[in-house]
């Protein structure tokens, strides 16, 4: 080629121009490529972000959360699944409906394990219940324990829907068996909104390549890629997309989505894909974004570059400048995308929280705990349930722990630890205290998530408020506790206090109080208060009826209940309410038979369920009945006391009257007797019969007075029983002979029939005799020229021997009406009787009293004109009933060892006889010849029992007895009075244990001694003393009194002895080698088994206050050796040992009783 | 002959009892209330005292307690006489220091026996 010189000159320019054009184009192209490359990266990020958003709206979204939570925790739904409640139970429908409405679903339903829809809610109107969805992948996947999103086109409706499906568990644990599936069906709005948010075209592809959703309407339901018959067949088989491919050839997308850059309608687009894990068995779904590449380098820019290509440098620099600018722009673009990605991650979480807000509508909160960061994330429902701060939705776990009731905190933490350790599921209940101080009960269940190594990383849980349920439970507990409290044998105040305390402990009351109505003063008196205040005498202790809240409850007889005490006009101290976090108030009137007897009221920190509050009426009723019964009992008791007081007053009056009557009787009888003696002396015998009449009349009158006195004694409770053994036949003969003159007076004859084997009876002789006197004199009084018979015979009743005394006469007899009045005091058969026959009419009453006192009974059979027969039946061995007036000294456990009897007797012969007899019987006998000596010996020896003669010179038996009983150390020694003077009355009154008349019946005495000193195991005493001589002396002294002794020369040896066997008592010296007394005591007290052994310390050490403090509470007695003579010291030791042994024996006796 | 101090506020009873005792050969001194009884016991040094319990002013129980507390009268046996016959009366008498006890109206032979019993010691 020939080049002209001009051309050659132009060539560089041309070349330069060409070059510059080429370079310019090159630069333009390089810029474009670089921009496009950057943009594709950006687009990918964008696709990932949009993918997140779709997942946040579907798989990780609030709908799925709600569906999963329902499947995990909803109890009513489970009960349906288990067939416990019907399908259309409102509570189930409510849950489904809530899901449906809140998430704008068009259907929600429950599927049983067989794939049959059991319960459903929908807006479409096509009934779902009963439909078989067993073949549906969403059901099958859910049954495998996986939640999943299933996108499909309805066969009949042609509607595109998303099915949110989750497993339904039999219990609140993901380890529980799956009993079905929960499904919600939604339109595509959520996906569409994500797609539309993209500036360019976007589409959602099924695993088979079907366009399920797109920003371009015309692309929807097209196929990406080539439409082969195989693909068509596969899609048809799925039945996932209705009938769209059943006929004809489906549309295909006019571009190839597998390339990175496609050309659509003469524009170039970059393609970015991201996969969606919806747990579709056919594989992941794909979200595709198309980004417009042409917009990166518009044509005007290119023209401009072309136009300036003449100026290379300029162009270059311009191009360079542009390149730089574009680079910066691309970077900015990428940074923005990344920022948005971050934001979208936040949105994922936010959408999750939105889910939980909706779960909140069903009362379930969802929370998540990061086990590495110790942070907690929660939703609004959880926030509401736990009372967490409203401004944050996550934070350190402490924020939550602060809310937990301190009493439940440790337990909850332990349960958390166990769940994390995999020991057990996390499923617990605890109380939380809100910032307003109100208290709520929360149940929570959680699953622990672990990484591949099995290390726990997160906990995800659901929680809900169970305060209501708890209250029903508590109500049941409360009922039983109140029942227990009220049936206890305690004063009513204590019982009511227990009820108030039960309200506090079982019903979470902060302050529970009970008032009772005082009708006289028209006020309410506080009887019980528990909780914040426990005193009943402060403010509101007396409330006038109708005043304040409590007074009005009582007046109106109506329940008052509020769950917002802070806002109640009745509550005057709002600050107090706020300070204690009081939320609710309940005041129940306590009503019995329409009468208000009190008010039960309490404040609580918990909102109360109205049902539970109304159910408390049952508890209120129980309390009311108890209060009313107590009042009735008290009134009865008061009435009884009044009646008794009246009886006592009457008796006192009668006693006084008797006294007043006796004084002139004294003169009448005395003077008439005197005159008779005078008449006799002076030979004026003719006066005697008249004087005799005066005397007889006086005697009669005295008899009447005595009867009145007897009765008043009985009624005043001052009549005592003096039981003794006596021969029945002998007593009968005695009575018969005494009464003979009286019987003969009315020309009657007395026939006595005594059974041959009557034997003896143990009863109050005087009273038996007096009863027979009364019956016989009564019989003779109402009989003329007749026969009176006294039949006495033994009777066996329930294997016990009784004696029957029957007094029959042939006299005037009685009508049934007269018999009725027979035993009433001061009432005679009729008024005329007293005029004709005289008497006080008390005889029968007294006889009946005597008979009953002895545990017997009296009966009567009579007919007018045919005579009367009285039968008195008495036990052959009368026992004193507990309520009987005389209480003989209770037999007490005996001092182990030989029993010591102290015989106090002035007559040497009698003393000798007793000593010999008792020694032979195995008693250790000590004697004293007189009262003073007896008392001294009693103090020294502390004998087990004392026999005491009454008639003694100097200090007599009565004085000794009084002195013995007045000395607290001796008062518990039983004393048997031995005397020729029959004065049991006095003996018992002074505290004698028993009373024997001389000559002493030996077997009787033995029986008494046996009763008060039963033989028992000998006592053992461990003597711990380093001085051999002292030890020996003590041993002798104790062994002489029948006590076994073991010895130890120091504390250490003593411990060895203790290990071999426990003594009854330890006698302990303090200052000893090796181990001293103090150390020994410390050791002994550390042994449970040894702690109860009494320790008596015998020491010469001057004990300092510190010493005493050290021994205090551990040592029973301390005997100081000080300056006393050995004899005196030994006596003291011996006495103390005996007292302590006796006391420990008593204690043992108590324990086994 | 033994000297008996009869303490009795009721004139008729005092008269009756004193005359019957005089007839039995006792020497009689009399007092009408507790204070007088103590005074007489000290001045008359009787061998025995018959003490009514219901006395105006110082009653028989208190008078007995005082007599038994004084060395010069301590040894004189006292028989209480009372119209009270409630359970506890006897104990109260003996507690006060009476040596014996009888109820009114007295059965004269029984009382006589008791008096002679004490005087025989």
pLDDT category of residue A835 using cuts at 50, 70 and 90: very low
Report the largest interatomic distance among the alpha carbons of chain B, rounded to a whole angstrom.
36
Residue A1018's pLDDT is: 63
Q: How much is the average pLDDT of A285-298? A: 84
Q: How far is A676 from chain B (nearest CA, A)?
A: 12
Computed over every residue of chain A, the mean pLDDT equals 79
- Count of structural domains, chain B: 1
Question: Given a cut of 50, is residue A1150 above it in pLDDT?
Answer: no
Tell me which long-range contacts A478-484 makes (C-beta under 8 A, separation of at least 24): A478/A502, A478/A503, A478/A506, A478/A507, A478/A616, A478/A619, A479/A618, A479/A619, A479/A622, A481/A505, A481/A506, A482/A619, A482/A622, A482/A623, A483/A622
Count of Cβ atoms closer than 10 Å to residue B75 Cβ:
10
pLDDT category of residue A354 using cuts at 50, 70 and 90: very low
B109 touches chain A (CB under 8 A): no
Residue A302's pLDDT is: 63
Q: How far is B8 from chain A (nearest CA, A)?
A: 11
CA distance B36 to A112: 115
Q: Choose between A889 and A177: higher pLDDT.
A: A177
Q: How much is the average pLDDT of A167-178? A: 77
Residue A751's pLDDT is: 92
- When CB atoms are compared, the residue of B19, B87, B91 closest to A713 is B87
Q: How much is the average pLDDT of A82-99? A: 72
Instruction: Judge: A667–B13 Cβ closer than 8 Å, yes or no.
Output: yes
- The strand pair at A749-754 and A787-797 is best described as parallel
Q: Which residues of B touch A716 (CB under 8 A)?
A: 86
- When CB atoms are compared, the residue of A670, A718, A719 closest to B16 is A670
Interface-testing mutation among B14, B23, B87, B89, with chain A (most A C-beta atoms within 10 A): B87
- The strand pair at A900-904 and A924-928 is best described as parallel
pLDDT category of residue A492 using cuts at 50, 70 and 90: confident
Please state the separation of Cα A216 from the chain's center in Å: 71
What percentage of chain B carries pLDDT values higher than 90?
53
Choose the weakest-confidence range: A404-408, A1125-1129, B8-12: A1125-1129
Collapsing DSSP states into helix, strand and coil, what is residue A633? helix
A1094: left (phi over 0), alpha (psi -120 to 50) or beta: beta
Please report the sign of the dihedral spanned by the C-alpha atoms of residue A258, residue A262, residue A265, residue A269. Answer: positive
Question: Given a cut of 70, is residue B46 above it in pLDDT?
Answer: yes
- Alpha helices for A175-311 (secondary structure H): 189-196, 229-238, 299-307
Choose the weakest-confidence range: A80-84, A466-470, A559-563: A80-84
- Strand partners for A268: A263
Q: Which residues of B touch A702 (CB under 8 A)?
A: 105
Residue A645's pLDDT is: 80
CA distance A480 to A498: 12
- pLDDT tens-digit series, residues A25-57: 776 777 778 778 888 888 888 888 888 888 877
Q: How much is the average pLDDT of A326-338? A: 69
Q: Choose between A1141 and A704: higher pLDDT.
A: A704
Q: How much is the average pLDDT of A520-524? A: 89
Q: Which CATH number characterizes residue B94's domain?
A: 3.40.50.2300
pLDDT category of residue A829 using cuts at 50, 70 and 90: very low
Nearest CA in chain A to B86: A713
Q: Which residues of A touch B23 (CB under 8 A)?
A: 674, 677
Q: How much is the average pLDDT of A291-313? A: 65
Beta carbons within 8 Å of A242's beta carbon, 6+ residues apart: A152, A153, A154, A155, A158
Interface-testing mutation among A648, A667, A700, with chain B (most B C-beta atoms within 10 A): A667
Q: How much is the average pLDDT of A507-533? A: 89
Q: How much is the average pLDDT of A871-887? A: 68
Helices A492-507, A467-487: inter-axial angle, 10-degree rounding: 160
Residue B78's pLDDT is: 94
CA distance A1044 to A920: 21
* Structure-token pair, residue B14: 């005092």
CA distance A503 to A511: 8
- pLDDT tens-digit series, residues A942-968: 888 899 888 777 778 888 888 888 777
Instruction: Judge: A663–B83 Cβ closer than 8 Å, yes or no.
Output: yes
Q: How far is A640 from chain B (nearest CA, A)?
A: 24
- pLDDT tens-digit series, residues A474-486: 777 788 788 888 8
- pLDDT tens-digit series, residues A982-1041: 666 677 767 777 877 776 777 778 878 877 776 555 678 889 988 887 788 788 777 776
Strands (E) across A342-399 are located at 364-370, 375-378, 394-396
B108 touches chain A (CB under 8 A): yes
Residue A127's pLDDT is: 74
Q: How much is the average pLDDT of A381-405? A: 80
- When CB atoms are compared, the residue of B17, B84, B103 closest to A670 is B17
pLDDT category of residue A597 using cuts at 50, 70 and 90: very high
What percentage of chain A carries pLDDT values higher than 90?
8
- pLDDT tens-digit series, residues A766-823: 889 888 988 998 888 888 899 999 999 998 887 888 999 999 999 888 888 888 777 7
- pLDDT tens-digit series, residues A724-776: 888 999 889 888 887 888 888 888 999 999 888 888 899 988 889 888 988 99
CA distance A698 to B16: 15
B85 touches chain A (CB under 8 A): yes
Instruction: Judge: A667–B95 Cβ closer than 8 Å, yes or no.
Output: no
Q: Which residues of B touch A663 (CB under 8 A)?
A: 10, 13, 83, 104
Phi first, then psi, for residue B63 (nearest 5°) are -60, -45
Residue bearing tokens 């009286």: A742
Q: Which residues of A touch B95 (CB under 8 A)?
A: 962
Instruction: Judge: A658–B85 Cβ closer than 8 Å, yes or no.
Output: yes
pLDDT category of residue A1149 using cuts at 50, 70 and 90: very low
Question: Given a cut of 60, is residue A837 above it in pLDDT?
Answer: no
Q: How much is the average pLDDT of A309-330? A: 58
Q: Choose between A162 and A1028: higher pLDDT.
A: A162
User: Virtual CA dihedral for A1004, A1008, A1013, A1014, nearest 10 degrees?
Assistant: 70
CA distance B95 to A958: 9
Residue A340's pLDDT is: 65
Interface-testing mutation among A653, A659, A660, A666, with chain B (most B C-beta atoms within 10 A): A666
Question: Given a cut of 60, is residue A13 above it in pLDDT?
Answer: no
pLDDT category of residue A377 using cuts at 50, 70 and 90: confident
Residue A893's pLDDT is: 34
∠ Cα B3 B9 B13 (to 5°):
75
H or E segment and range at residue A789? strand A787-797
Helices A931-941, A1126-1152: inter-axial angle, 10-degree rounding: 70
Domain residue limits at B103: 3-119
Question: Given a cut of 70, is residue A314 above it in pLDDT?
Answer: no
Interface-testing mutation among B86, B92, B101, B104, with chain A (most A C-beta atoms within 10 A): B86
B1 touches chain A (CB under 8 A): no
Residue A361's pLDDT is: 44
- pLDDT tens-digit series, residues A1035-1062: 877 777 667 888 888 888 888 888 888 8
Instruction: Judge: B16–A667 Cβ closer than 8 Å, yes or no.
Output: yes
Residue A179's pLDDT is: 86
């Amino acid at each position: 080629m020939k080049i002209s010189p001009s051309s050659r000159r132009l060539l560089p320019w041309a070349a330069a121009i060409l070059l510059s054009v080429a370079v310019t184009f090159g630069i333009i192209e390089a810029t474009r490529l670089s921009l496009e490359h950057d943009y594709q990266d950006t687009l990918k990020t964008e696709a990932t972000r949009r993918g997140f958003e779709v997942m946040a709206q579907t798989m990780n979204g609030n709908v799925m959360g709600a569906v999963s939570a329902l499947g995990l925790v909803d109890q009513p739904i489970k009960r349906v699944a288990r067939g416990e409640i019907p399908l259309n139970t409102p509570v189930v429908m409510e849950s489904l409906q809530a899901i449906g409405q809140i998430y704008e679903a068009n259907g929600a339903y429950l599927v049983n394990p067989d794939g049959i829809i059991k319960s459903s809610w929908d807006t479409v109107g096509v009934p779902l219940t009963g439909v078989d969805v067993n073949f549906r992948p969403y059901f099958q996947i859910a049954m495998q324990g996986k939640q999943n999103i299933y996108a499909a086109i309805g066969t009949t409706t042609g509607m595109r829907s998303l099915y949110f499906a989750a497993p339904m568990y039999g219990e609140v644990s993901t380890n529980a068996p799956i009993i079905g599936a929960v499904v919600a069906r939604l339109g595509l709005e959520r996906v569409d909104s994500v797609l539309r948010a993209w500036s360019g075209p976007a589409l959602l592809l099924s695993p088979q390549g079907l366009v399920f959703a797109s920003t371009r309407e015309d692309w929807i339901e097209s196929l990406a890629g080539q439409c082969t018959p195989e693909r068509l067949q596969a899609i048809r088989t799925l039945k996932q997309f209705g009938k769209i491919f059943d006929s004809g050839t489906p549309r295909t997308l006019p571009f190839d989505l597998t390339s990175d850059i496609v050309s659509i309608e003469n524009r170039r687009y970059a393609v970015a894909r991201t996969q969606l894990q919806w747990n579709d068995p056919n594989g992941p779904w794909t979200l595709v974004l198309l980004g417009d590449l042409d917009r990166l380098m518009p044509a005007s820019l290119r023209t401009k570059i072309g136009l300036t290509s003449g100026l290379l440098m300029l162009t270059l620099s311009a191009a360079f400048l542009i390149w730089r600018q574009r680079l910066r722009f691309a970077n900015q673009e990428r940074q923005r995308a990344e920022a948005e990605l971050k934001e979208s991650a936040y949105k994922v979480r936010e959408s999750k929280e939105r889910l939980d807000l909706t779960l909140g509508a069903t009362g379930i909160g969802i929370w998540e705990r990061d086990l590495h960061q110790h942070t907690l994330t929660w939703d609004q429902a959880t926030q509401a349930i736990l009372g967490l701060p409203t401004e944050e939705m996550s934070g350190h776990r402490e924020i939550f722990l602060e809310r937990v009731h301190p009493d439940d905190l440790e337990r909850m933490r332990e349960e958390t630890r166990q769940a994390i350790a995999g020991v057990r599921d996390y499923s617990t209940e605890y109380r939380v205290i809100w910032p307003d101080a109100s208290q709520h009960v929360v149940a929570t269940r959680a699953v622990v998530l672990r990484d591949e190594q099995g290390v726990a990383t997160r906990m995800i849980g659901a929680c809900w408020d169970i305060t209501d349920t708890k209250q029903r439970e508590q109500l049941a507990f409360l009922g039983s506790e109140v029942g227990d409290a009220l049936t206890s044998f305690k004063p009513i105040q204590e019982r009511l206090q227990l009820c108030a305390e039960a309200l506090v402990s079982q019903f979470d009351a902060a302050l529970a109080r009970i008032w009772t109505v005082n009708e006289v003063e028209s006020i309410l008196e506080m009887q019980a208060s528990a909780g914040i205040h426990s005193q009943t005498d402060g403010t509101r202790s007396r409330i006038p009826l109708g005043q304040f809240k409590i007074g009005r409850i009582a007046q109106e007889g109506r329940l008052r209940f509020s769950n917002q005490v802070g806002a109640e006009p009745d509550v005057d101290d709002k600050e107090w309410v706020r300070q204690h976090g009081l939320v609710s108030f309940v005041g129940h009137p306590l009503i019995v038979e329409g009468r208000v007897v009190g008010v039960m009221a309490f404040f609580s920190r918990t909102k109360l369920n109205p049902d539970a509050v109304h159910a408390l009426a049952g508890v209120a009723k129980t309390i009311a009945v108890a209060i009313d019964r107590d009042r009735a009992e008290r009134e009865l008791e008061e009435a009884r006391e009044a009646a008794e007081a009246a009886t006592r007053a009457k008796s006192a009056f009668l006693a006084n009257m008797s006294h007043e009557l006796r004084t002139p009787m004294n003169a009448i009888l005395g003077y008439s007797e005197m005159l008779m003696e005078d008449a006799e002396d002076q030979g004026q015998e003719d006066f005697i019969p008249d004087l005799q009449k005066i005397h007889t009349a006086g005697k009669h009158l005295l008899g009447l007075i005595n009867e009145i006195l007897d009765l008043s004694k009985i009624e005043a409770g001052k009549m005592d029983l003096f039981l003794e053994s006596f021969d029945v036949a002998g007593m009968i003969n005695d009575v018969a002979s005494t009464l003979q003159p009286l019987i003969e007076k009315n020309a009657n004859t007395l026939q006595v029939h005594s059974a041959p084997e009557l034997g003896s009876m143990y009863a109050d002789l005087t009273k038996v005799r007096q009863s027979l006197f009364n019956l016989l004199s009564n019989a003779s009084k109402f009989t003329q020229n007749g026969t009176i018979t006294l039949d006495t015979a033994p009777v066996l009743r329930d294997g016990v021997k009784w004696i029957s005394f029957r007094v029959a006469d042939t006299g005037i007899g009685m009508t049934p009406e007269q018999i009725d009045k027979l035993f009433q005091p001061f009432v005679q058969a009729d008024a005329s009787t007293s005029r004709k026959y005289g008497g006080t009419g008390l005889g029968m009453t007294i006889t009946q009293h005597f008979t009953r006192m002895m545990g017997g009974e009296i009966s009567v059979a009579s007919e007018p004109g045919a005579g009367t027969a009285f039968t008195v039946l008495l036990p052959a061995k009368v026992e004193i009933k507990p309520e009987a007036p005389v209480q003989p000294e209770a037999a007490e456990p005996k001092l182990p060892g030989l029993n010591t009897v102290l015989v106090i007797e002035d007559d040497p012969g009698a003393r000798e006889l007793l000593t010999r007899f008792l020694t032979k019987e195995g008693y250790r006998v000590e004697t004293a010849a007189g009262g003073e000596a007896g008392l001294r010996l009693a103090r020294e020896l502390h004998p087990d029992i004392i026999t005491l003669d009454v008639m003694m010179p100097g200090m007599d038996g009565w004085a000794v007895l009084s002195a013995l009983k007045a000395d607290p150390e001796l008062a518990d020694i039983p004393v048997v009075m031995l005397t020729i003077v029959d004065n049991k009355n006095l003996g018992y009154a002074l505290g004698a244990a028993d009373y024997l008349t001389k000559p002493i019946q030996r077997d009787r005495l033995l029986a008494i001694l046996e009763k008060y000193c039963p033989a028992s195991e000998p006592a053992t005493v461990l003597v711990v003393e380093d001085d051999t001589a002292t030890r020996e002396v003590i041993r002798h002294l104790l062994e002489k009194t029948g006590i076994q002794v073991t010895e130890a020369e120091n504390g250490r040896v003593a411990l060895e002895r203790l290990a071999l066997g426990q003594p009854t008592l330890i006698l302990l010296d303090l200052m000893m080698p090796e181990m001293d007394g103090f150390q020994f005591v410390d050791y002994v007290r550390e042994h449970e088994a040894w702690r109860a052994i009494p320790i008596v310390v015998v020491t010469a050490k001057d004990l300092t206050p510190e010493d005493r403090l050290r021994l205090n509470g551990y040592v029973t007695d301390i005997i100081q050796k000080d300056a006393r003579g050995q004899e005196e010291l030994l006596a003291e030791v011996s006495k103390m040992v005996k007292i302590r042994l006796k006391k420990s024996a008593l204690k043992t006796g108590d324990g086994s009783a | 002959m033994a000297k008996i101090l009869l303490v009795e506020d009721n004139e008729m009873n005092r008269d009756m009892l004193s005359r019957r005792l005089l007839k039995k050969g006792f020497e009689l001194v009399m007092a009408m209330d507790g204070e007088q009884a103590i005074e007489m016991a000290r001045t008359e040094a009787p061998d025995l005292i018959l003490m009514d319990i219901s006395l105006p002013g110082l009653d028989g129980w208190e008078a007995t307690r005082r007599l038994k507390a004084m060395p010069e009268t301590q040894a004189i046996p006292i028989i209480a006489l009372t119209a009270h016959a409630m359970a506890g009366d006897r104990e109260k008498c003996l507690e006060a220091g009476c040596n014996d006890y009888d109820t009114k109206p007295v059965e004269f032979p029984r009382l006589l026996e008791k008096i002679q019993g004490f005087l025989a010691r």
